[in-house]
Amino acid sequence: MTSVPARYAHLDGETAELTDRIMTLASRGLPKMYRTESDEYAFTRIFTTSADGVTARLSGTSLRYAAIVALGVAWLPPDQQPALLGGHSLDEFVSLLVDRQAASGNLGDIALIAWAAAQIGHGRLEDAVRRLREFDRRTAPEYVVECAWVVSALAAARAHLDVEEYLAQARERLLGSVLPGSPVFPHVTGPGLVKPYRAHVACFADQVYPIQALARLHHSGDDPAALAAARTAAAQICRLQGPGGQWWWHYDARTGDVIEGYPVYSVHQHAMGPMALLDLTEAGGGDFAEPIRKGLRWMLGPAELGDGGFAEPLLLDQEGLTVRKVFRGDPRKIVRGLHTATTRVRPGLRLPVVNRVYRPTALDRECRPYEFGWLYFAWLARLGARSLPAGR
């Protein structure tokens, strides 16, 4: 990079070097995830390693991941963007997304595309927000992650369009989803979307995206209640951060306690955790530099793998790949299921024996485009700044 991003001020020498390394890796790997034959991003890139090297293949496609890539790539210099967007300028790429948004039946995809259009002040922003407004049921239960993306999209759009009434509704839905007395966000805003036995289980993403959305909401228009809710959730996940810097996966939406820590995802460590906490810091929500640095260091050599008697890097620099996660390798996710069942009966009730039997020493060798989109966003975005497409 030609200049040091402002957010690097929260890093030390080791973590700044690591972040630079992953950014370089991302710029090498992201073009390999683009399906030129269909002009869209793959869902994932699955790979194997052997003495002969790395073999990788693409699987599926994802409109959601393409929108996240656009959100991140927008913060790179315009002359670097086409190489990461299938040869398109950012403006052209977001136009493709808006075209496809019209046929999407997923609230998260639709919201992310509206957010991408709002972030760059795209000429078709009004169309993108209209589609979001029309599709969003508002009064029916929704996934909290997707509700958070709606808030982020509208907070970005309010500088260009009158979205205040809709934004107020989206804000209340997100803030109102938290169970009384809980420091964390749930997985859904109401009953009916998940089976009752796991209704109390929330995940790391359910915390990250609301923290980010509420921080951005406060920054876009003074909202102390939103900032306070974001700060509460951030303080809880930081308090529970693992000894090796792990951002744990499943939380009890009633109490805020960890239900099951694994898998630990690379994208949480290098991108999503820092992204939410840095947005919150810029919005005036506190200093989270040490948890951010601690989480990044996990990428250099997870203690889980050393404990298993072997070590394998999570970063494959030349291939532009990150190992997706470290997990238990238990058949049918038995540990997660048992912890879900026991904590449903009594919060905090655990079965330590299954943790000893199924140790987290397995690797998921795949890498997804959104991991790099959020990486760019985490380290290059700034609240109050506006990324611009080439030619504007």
- DSSP per-residue string spanning 227-270: HHHHHHHHHHHHHT--TTS---SEEETTT--EEE---EEHHIII
Please tell me whether residue 42 adopts helix, strand or coil conformation.
strand
Residue 391 lies in a domain: no
Per-residue pLDDT of the chain (392 residues; tens, 9 = 90+): 557 899 999 999 999 999 999 999 999 999 999 999 999 999 999 999 988 899 999 999 999 999 999 999 999 999 999 999 999 999 999 999 999 999 999 999 999 999 999 999 999 999 999 999 999 988 889 999 999 999 999 999 999 999 999 999 999 999 999 999 999 999 999 999 999 888 999 999 999 999 999 999 999 999 999 999 999 999 999 999 999 999 999 999 999 999 999 999 999 999 999 999 999 999 999 999 999 999 999 999 888 887 544 567 899 999 999 999 999 987 767 767 777 778 876 787 666 767 777 788 899 999 999 999 999 999 999 997 665 443 33
Residue 51 lies in a domain: yes
Under DSSP, the state recorded for 188 is B
Assign residue 12 the CATH number of its domain: 1.50.10.10
Residue 389 lies in a domain: no
Q: How far is CA 317 from CA 38, 109, 309, in A?
A: 27, 30, 23
* pLDDT for the residue numbered 305: 80
* pLDDT for the residue numbered 29: 98
Residue 387 lies in a domain: no
* pLDDT for the residue numbered 308: 47
The reply to whether omega before 263 is within 30° of 0 (cis) is yes
The residues, any chain, with a CB within 8 Å of residue 10's CB and separated by 6 or more, are 278, 281, 288, 289, 292, 293
CB distance 143 to 178 below 8 Å: no
**Alpha-helix runs per DSSP H in 240-351:** 266-267, 273-282, 289-297, 303-307, 334-345
CB distance 292 to 283 below 8 Å: no
Count of C-beta atoms within a 10 Å radius of residue 331: 7
Rounded-to-integer distance, Cα 158 and Cα 314, Å: 40
Residue 390 lies in a domain: no
- Determine the structural domain holding residue 169 and report its residue range: 6-380
pTM (two decimals) = 0.94
* pLDDT for the residue numbered 353: 63
Rounded-to-integer distance, Cα 167 and Cα 182, Å: 24
Residue 185 lies in a domain: yes
Question: What is the number of structural domains in the chain?
Answer: 1
CB distance 391 to 89 below 8 Å: yes
Burial class (CB in 10 A: 0-12, 13-18, 19+), 9: exposed
Q: Using DSSP, how many helices (H) and how many strands (E) does the chain show?
A: 16, 12
Q: How far is CA 281 from CA 17, 18, 45, 285, in A?
A: 22, 21, 33, 5
Rounded-to-integer distance, Cα 202 and Cα 232, Å: 15
Residue 256 lies in a domain: yes
The residues, any chain, with a CB within 8 Å of residue 206's CB and separated by 6 or more, are 144, 145, 184, 185, 186, 187, 251, 253
* pLDDT for the residue numbered 309: 43
Q: How far is CA 174 from the centre of its chain?
A: 17
HEC letters along 52-101: CEEEEEEEEECHHHHHHHHHHHCCCCHHHCHHHCCCCCHHHHHHHHHHHH
* pLDDT for the residue numbered 311: 65
